Chains A and B, each alone.
Chain A
Amino acid sequence: MTSTTPSATTLGRPEDPAARLPLLDIRNLTVGYGEAAPSVQGVTLRVEPGEIVGLIGESGSGKSTVAMAALGLLPRSARIEAERFDVCGVDIRSASTRELNTLRGSSVAMVFQDAMGALDPCMRVGAQIAEVVKRHQRLRGAACRNEVLELMARVGLPNPETRARQYPHQLSGGLRQRAAIALALAGKPRILLADEPTTALDVTVQAGILRLFRRIRDELNVAIVLISHDMGVIAQTADRVAVMLDGSVVEQGSVEQVLLSPETPYTRKLLESAPSLDTEPARTEAGDAPVTGQHGSDPERRTDLMTVTGVTRRFRVKGRHITAVSDVSLSVKRGEVLGIVGESGSGKSTLAKLLVHLDKPSAGTLAMDGLDYTRLRGARARRFRDAVQMVFQHPAGSLNPRLKVGTSIREPMRASKVSRGDGEDRVRGLLREVGLPEGCGDRLPHEFSGGQKQRIAIARALSSSPDVVILDEPTSALDVSVQAQVLDLLDRLRSQHDLTYVFISHNLAVVRQVSDRVAVMYAGRVVEVGDCATIFANPQHWYTRTLIAAVPSTDPRHRNDGEGEAPRVGGSGAAGNATPPTDNAPACAFATRCPRAEARCWAEAPTLTEVGPGQQAACHFPAARGAVAEQGGS
C-alpha cells in the first residue's frame, strides 16, 4: 500500500471541482504578538487534497501557531498578516465567527497530543461522536448510530458497539487517541491538523496510529498536516515535509528529498542529532576517549557495584494490589552504563526509586558494594545517599523554583564535610563542568532554559561526588539538538569522574547510543538483558523485537505499511495469534500480545535464562538466531 496517487483508492467523498483546489493555501504568513519578534514569519505552505504534509521543528519554532492560525483559534491579541490565507476556500483573515464555526469541524478538524483533553470525561465516547455527526452531517436516529459505529470501526476501535458505551477513562491511551481521531473525522473534514498526535503514546501504539493516519488518507482522501518533533514519525507518514526554525520554514520538499538529502545545515543538524536505530551509534576510533557506548575496559573485569535480588514492589490502590516491579534481579557493574527500556507502566521509574532508596521494596534486597541498603535508616542511609544520586525527567520540576540554583547544587554536600568557602568553589567548578558560566549560581531556576536546567540538575547530582547516578528519562523533555548536547555532557562527566550510570528511557535509540548493557522491562519484569549491541542486533524476547520494530525509521524508504512485519529486525505488527486457553491472566504477561505464545506461556512463567553470550531472556520460545536474519530480509 504505497499509494502515492490517493485518488485511485478514494472511497469516501465524491470528487467535486472544488476538491482540486489546494485545501490550505498560506502565502507569507506572519503572526506576531505585541512588540515581540513575530512567532511565525513569512511561512508559505500549500496542502493539496489527500496529501500528508509533515511540519517538523523544535519547540518554539512556530509549528503549532501555524495550525492554530489555520483554525482561526489564535487569541485576539495576535497580529496576522498574509498575502493569502485560505483554508478550504475560506479566507481566514476576513471570516466571521459564524463562518469559522462552519469551517471548523466540517472542513478542518484537529487532533491534539492529549486525547484525554479532547474528549469530554463525563460523556460516553459514542455520544460525543454522535453529537458531531448530528451537527455536521444532519443524520438522526439509526443512520447516525450506524455512522458512529462505522467511524469507530474505521479508526480501528475494536468492538465499536461496546466501546461506544464507554467513557474516555475506560479506554487505553492508544484507543483514546483513536476515539479522538474518530471525533475529528465525524464532521467529514477535508483536512485534518494533527499536533504531536503520538508524542504521549508508547512506541508500539504510535506505530498503529501512524498507520491509521495513512489509511484514512487513502480511504477518505483527507489531507493531513502532521506536526511533530520526531523525525521518525514524519519519515514514516508524510508525503511532503516543511522544516521550521524560529518561525520560518527553512526547507520544504518531498519527504525523501528533505530527509535523505537535506539542503540546509539546520535540517542536517536535526537529522544528525536525532539518535536513530537505523544508523550505527557514533563511536570514535580506538585510542580516542570514547564518545558514546562501549566504555573502556573489558566487561569481564568489571565488578558488580549494585546488586538487585528478587525485588518486588506492590502498591495498594483502593484495596487492589498492583505489582509495579515483580521479582527483578539485576546487577550494575562498576563503570558501565546500564540502560533500562520499557513502555509506560513497565515499572522503570519504580525501579529507579528503589535503586536510590526513595522507596522500599515489598520483597527482595538491594545492595551497593556488598552493603545491603534495603532497610537502611538515619545516618547510615544518609551516608549511602552520598554515593547514589538521581537526575529526573522534568528539568523544571527538579529545581526548587524559589531557591537560587547555587543553593540547590550545594544541597547534597553535607555541612559537616564541606565548609562554606569550599562549597562556593565547588559550585563554581561544577557549573563550569556542566558548561554554564561560573557566576550564575545566584540566579533563580526560571531564568534558565530547559536544557540549562537539566545541566544544573546534573551538577547538583554530582556535587556529593557519587559513584552511581540514576538518570530517569533525563533527555525526554528536551529538543533533539539539546538532547544531543546533554548526552555528550553526561558521557564526558562519566569518564572524568569514573561514574556508573543507570540510564532509564523509553527512547530505544538514545538507550542504544549511550548504554553498555540494556535491560528491557515489561509489566514490572525484566524480560531481556544483555550487551547493548547484541540486544539491538539480535533481540531474543518477542517483546524486545516488537519494541525495536515499532520505532519509526527516519528513512522514509523503510515504510512499514502493512499491518505485519517491520523492515528492521523481526517484529510483529498484529496482536498475538494464540487464542487464550483460559480466561486467567497469563503467566507470561506478554503472552496476549506475543505472536509465538502457546499454552505453556499461560501456565508457566518464563525465567531469565541464558540465550547467548552475555544475553538473557525470559521467554519459552526465544527467537532463534536464523529466523532473525530471514525476517530481517522480508
Chain B
Amino acid sequence: MTHAAPVRVGPEAVPNRQRHWFAAFLRTRREASAGILLLVTLVVLSMTVHLWADYTPSEVAGAPFSPPSAQHLLGTDDLGRDYLVRLMTAGQTSLGIAFFAAALALLVGSAIGIAAGLRGGWLDSWLMAGIDLVLSFPSLLLALSAVTVFNPTKTILVLVLALIAVPQFARVVRAKCLELREREFVLSARVSGVPDPVIAVKHLLPNVLPLMTVQFANTAAIAILIESSLSYLGLGVQPPDPSWGNMIYAAQSYMIECPWLPLGPAGALLLASFAWGLIGEGFSGGSRSLI
C-alpha cells in the first residue's frame, strides 16, 4: 500500500485539512518560498518606483558618474541620472517581458502538448514535427533574426521569446499526457462517454499543472537572460527605455572607472533569474510526490 495510513471511513475519520496552507507551503517548500519572496520584492520595488523615488528615470539628478552615496544609493550614470531609479524602471521592462513571454508560451505550449498527447495519431505527428522544426533553430539565432526582420518592440520581444519557449512546454506536457492517457481514470472517463475537451480540462490539466509551474518558472528564468542578451546586443529594448541588458551595454565603456554601472544591472539580472530558478526547483521537488 502506497499510503501510509489510509483514512478509515467513518465519522471520526474526517481528514484534517491543512487550514494554514500558507504556513504549510512556507515550511515544506523553502526554496520556492525564498524564490517567491525575492521575486516579489523585485517586482514590487520596480512597479512602485514612481511612488518612492525622488527622481524620474530620465531626469538629470546629479553630477555624472557619481559613486554610490546616501543621496544616490547606486550612484549616477554618464548623464547624471539616478541609477537605482533607472535600474528599477528597467526591471519593469525586463521582468514584464519575461513574465508575459513565459505566460504566452505556457498557454500555447500546453495547448499543443495536451492536444498532441490526448489525441495522438496524425495530429500528434504534425504538431510534433512543427515543434521539432522550431527546435532545430538555435534559439538565440532565431530571436536575432526575428528581431532583425521586425522592429524590436516589446510586443515582438514577448512573441519571439514565447516562440523559443513553446517547444519545451509542448514536449514536457505532451510526454505527461501520453502517460496520463493510458491511466485508468482517463480510460474510465472515455468509457463513460466524456468528450475529449472535458477530459483535457478535467483530467489532464490538473495533473500536468505542477509540471507546468516548474516549466513556467524555468522559462521565465531563461527568457530574462535571452531578453538581456538581445538588449545587450542592441536588438532588444531600445534606449531611452532602460532594460537591464541595454544598461549593461551602455555601462561597458566605463567598466573600470565606475564598476557600479555594470554591476547594478548584472546583479539585478542574477537575482531575478536566481529567484525564478529557485521557484522552479522548489516546485519540481514536490510535484513528483503530488502525482
**A interface with B by C-beta (< 8 Å):** 36, 59-60, 356-358, 381-386, 388-390, 392-394, 396-403, 408, 411-412, 414, 436-437, 440, 443, 446-450, 452, 457, 460-461, 464
Closest chain B residue to A437, Cβ basis:
B9
Q: Please tell me if B183 contacts chain A, counting CB pairs below 8 Å.
A: yes
CB contacts (< 8 Å) of A446 on chain B: these are 3
CB contacts (< 8 Å) of B185 on chain A: these are 397-400, 408
CB contacts (< 8 Å) of A464 on chain B: these are 192
CB contacts (< 8 Å) of B206 on chain A: these are 400, 402-403
B15–A400 contact, CB under 8 A? Answer: no
CB contacts (< 8 Å) of B184 on chain A: these are 392-394, 397-398
Question: In the complex, A385 Cα to B9 Cα: how many Å?
Answer: 31
Q: Which of B10, B192, B203, B207 contacts A437 (CB 8 A)?
A: B10
B187–A392 contact, CB under 8 A? Answer: yes
Given A390-B187, A397-B184, A412-B192; A447-B6 close (CB under 8 Å) = yes
Closest chain B residue to A472, Cβ basis:
B184
B188–A390 contact, CB under 8 A? Answer: yes
Question: In the complex, A400 Cα to B9 Cα: how many Å?
Answer: 19
B1-13 contact mask (Cβ, 8 Å, vs A): 1 or 0: 1111011111100
Q: What would 26 A/B residue contacts be, using CB atoms closer than 8 Å?
A: A356-B191, A357-B191, A358-B187, A358-B190, A358-B191, A382-B193, A384-B193, A389-B192, A390-B187, A390-B188, A396-B2, A397-B185, A398-B184, A400-B207, A401-B291, A402-B206, A403-B202, A411-B189, A411-B192, A412-B193, A443-B15, A449-B3, A450-B6, A452-B6, A460-B188, A461-B188
B197 to chain A, nearest CB (A): 13
A385–B193 contact, CB under 8 A? Answer: yes
Given A385-B192, A392-B187; A402-B207 close (CB under 8 Å) = yes
Question: In the complex, A399 Cα to B4 Cα: how many Å?
Answer: 18
Range, interface on chain B: 20 to 34
CB contacts (< 8 Å) of A389 on chain B: these are 191-192
Question: In the complex, A414 Cα to B195 Cα: how many Å?
Answer: 11
Question: In the complex, A403 Cα to B183 Cα: how many Å?
Answer: 14
Q: Which of A383, A386, A448, A460 contacts B6 (CB 8 A)?
A: A448
> Top 9 closest A-B pairs, CB basis?
A449-B6, A385-B193, A412-B192, A382-B193, A392-B184, A397-B184, A402-B206, A398-B184, A400-B185
CB contacts (< 8 Å) of A399 on chain B: these are 185
CB contacts (< 8 Å) of A402 on chain B: these are 206-207
CB proximity to A under 8 Å, residues B237-291? 290-291
Given A385-B191, A460-B188; A400-B6 close (CB under 8 Å) = no
Q: Please tell me if B194 contacts chain A, counting CB pairs below 8 Å.
A: yes
Question: In the complex, A399 Cα to B203 Cα: how many Å?
Answer: 10
Given A397-B184, A403-B206, A443-B15; A390-B6 close (CB under 8 Å) = no
Question: In the complex, A616 Cα to B192 Cα: how many Å?
Answer: 34
A450–B1 contact, CB under 8 A? Answer: yes
A447–B15 contact, CB under 8 A? Answer: yes
CB contacts (< 8 Å) of A60 on chain B: these are 1
- Main secondary structure, interface of A, reads loop
Closest chain B residue to A388, Cβ basis:
B191
Closest chain B residue to A383, Cβ basis:
B193
Closest chain B residue to A436, Cβ basis:
B9
CB contacts (< 8 Å) of A449 on chain B: these are 1, 3, 6, 8
Q: Which of B6, B10, B193 contacts A414 (CB 8 A)?
A: B193
Q: Which of A388, A394, A448, A460 contacts B9 (CB 8 A)?
A: A448
A40 to chain B, nearest CB (A): 15
Question: In the complex, A46 Cα to B150 Cα: how many Å?
Answer: 81
CB contacts (< 8 Å) of A357 on chain B: these are 191
A391 to chain B, nearest CB (A): 8
CB contacts (< 8 Å) of B191 on chain A: these are 356-358, 385, 388-390
Question: In the complex, A159 Cα to B184 Cα: how many Å?
Answer: 40
Closest chain B residue to A407, Cβ basis:
B202
A239 to chain B, nearest CB (A): 30
A234 to chain B, nearest CB (A): 21
Question: In the complex, A436 Cα to B13 Cα: how many Å?
Answer: 13
B123-135 contact mask (Cβ, 8 Å, vs A): 1 or 0: 0000000000000
B266 to chain A, nearest CB (A): 41
Beyond A411-B194, A446-B3: 18 further Cβ-contacts under 8 Å?
A59-B1, A358-B187, A358-B191, A385-B191, A385-B193, A390-B188, A397-B183, A398-B188, A401-B291, A412-B192, A436-B9, A440-B9, A443-B15, A447-B15, A448-B6, A449-B6, A449-B8, A452-B9
CB proximity to A under 8 Å, residues B189-231? 189-195, 202-203, 206-207
Question: In the complex, A394 Cα to B182 Cα: how many Å?
Answer: 12
CB contacts (< 8 Å) of A386 on chain B: these are 193
A392–B188 contact, CB under 8 A? Answer: yes
Closest chain A residue to B5, Cβ basis:
A36
Question: In the complex, A443 Cα to B3 Cα: how many Å?
Answer: 15
Closest chain A residue to B190, Cβ basis:
A358
Closest chain B residue to A390, Cβ basis:
B191
Question: In the complex, A443 Cα to B17 Cα: how many Å?
Answer: 10
Question: In the complex, A623 Cα to B186 Cα: how many Å?
Answer: 44
Question: In the complex, A36 Cα to B193 Cα: how many Å?
Answer: 44
Question: In the complex, A460 Cα to B202 Cα: how many Å?
Answer: 16
Question: In the complex, A389 Cα to B190 Cα: how many Å?
Answer: 10
Q: Which of B7, B190, B192 contacts A448 (CB 8 A)?
A: B7
CB contacts (< 8 Å) of B15 on chain A: these are 443, 447
B24 to chain A, nearest CB (A): 16
CB contacts (< 8 Å) of A398 on chain B: these are 184-185, 188
Question: In the complex, A60 Cα to B3 Cα: how many Å?
Answer: 11
A457–B6 contact, CB under 8 A? Answer: no
A381–B193 contact, CB under 8 A? Answer: yes
Q: Which of A392, A440, A447 is most buried by chain B, counting CB atoms within 10 A of its CB?
A: A447
CB contacts (< 8 Å) of B4 on chain A: these are 36
A416 to chain B, nearest CB (A): 12
A145 to chain B, nearest CB (A): 43
B179 to chain A, nearest CB (A): 11
A103 to chain B, nearest CB (A): 30
